[in-house]
A and B are shown apart, each in its own frame.
Chain A
Amino acid sequence: MKGEQVYASINQVDQESGRARRGRNAIGGGGGGSSAPAAPTTGSVKFTNSSTLYAIDEAYLALPSDTTWGAQRNSSAIATGASWTLSGITPATYDSAITSYGNVSNYYAYSYGIAVTAGSTYTLTASNTSYTGTLVVNNNNATNSITALYVSATALGGGANVLSTPIAPNTSRNIVNIPSGSYFVRAVHGGVNRDNSGVSIASHSWTGITYN
């Protein structure tokens, strides 16, 4: 429906342009008429970086049915206060992700259900508070591994184990892609549940948790 409206608007503009051209042609002693420009067949997505702190280092656009984000679309970072437009997009509904590099971790932001229509530009805006945060888990114990870690917004031990492999003694692991908020964290450390509540995660920030 929205696409139809956009097309209607574009056609109206084209018709008005045609009338204007015909008028000028008449003044000039007549001419052979002009054909209206072809209606656009693609749309655009404009990434606007309104953050005052973080560049958008990577931008992605993919169909909802895609299982990965695919290739990075931008060739260079989008600086704070700048914008970059990805054009020539086949009209459809898309998902988008962006990545911002930090010194400790990468941070991510998303938008879903982006309806790209022909001749239209869809604007996506990132701000300082758009990004996920990271939990840095330090296993400072010389003997015990952390064999499972549960990060949940609702309950201790909730959700799935986020570890693909145990965190070995005297090593650290970053848990990335966590939306800002307060979390329950349960680590299974040396076979014992070690629980923390109210673990705060913030945009483009990392929170450390250390197990001795």
Chain B
Amino acid sequence: MKVLRQHSWSFWRLTVQSASFALLISIPLLNFYLNFNLIQGWYQSLSFGDLWFVSPLEGLERILITRSIYGPLLVGMLLPVVLALLCGRVFCGWICPIHYLSDLTERVKGVITCSKRTKDRWLLPRQILWFALIGELLLSLIVGAPIFVFMSPPGLVGRELMRLVFFHALALEVFIIVGVVGMTLITRRFYCRYLCPLGGLLALIGHKRKLRVVVNPNSCIHCGKCDNSCPLGLKPQQGEGEYSQCWNCGTCVDVCPQESLSYRWRGWSSGEQHGQK
């Protein structure tokens, strides 16, 4: 923990995000030019040798639509689901290429316009995220075909990178990615906040997660810096860091001048505060 705190959480997050994005680029390169098949795929299914991951949303949708269970699929979904159970939406905050690209877009915009922070121009009720998830699953069941092929941008990024390496061309899906990333200029992480079904599912799985951002009310001076910094528009100062939709990115922990905000590993029930440091 001490080694970690030598740098800010943003530093670590950016490192992990960059590494994840580099992985997305290097996997098709390795497969195409070196025939190195040990690591494969992207965030719909990723394989390291015989360790296979399957994205929970895609796996769930496949099970719902085909009405059949497939063992390898369930095993592949196991680790991501456990991660979400323990840590919530950490995939969104620390790995997802859309968040990374949005972050970069925001930084570039900050440099161009010399403004430190993007305003959230269009705010909607946070509950829309749940309806996006339910709507997506219901629509898939009605159509009898998965809708995530358009609505799951993290997968699209991987697919387009692969297409670029393998076929030296991009498909029209790029415009979905550009649109999703571009929406961050209107409201920060607009898609992640309100529309991403994968984020919704991970939040739902992790609504009783262990890793949370907790505010210490004794040292908090109510400066509001954390409320302004949260890319999801949550208010950590009012304890919203414990909301299921928080993706544990640690931006608020970094900006807090009093160090009142911190990551905490806590028990399953939210009221359980004693017995830990």
Task: Decide whether A and B assemble into one complex.
Answer: no
The chain A residues found within 8 Å of chain B, CB to CB, are: none
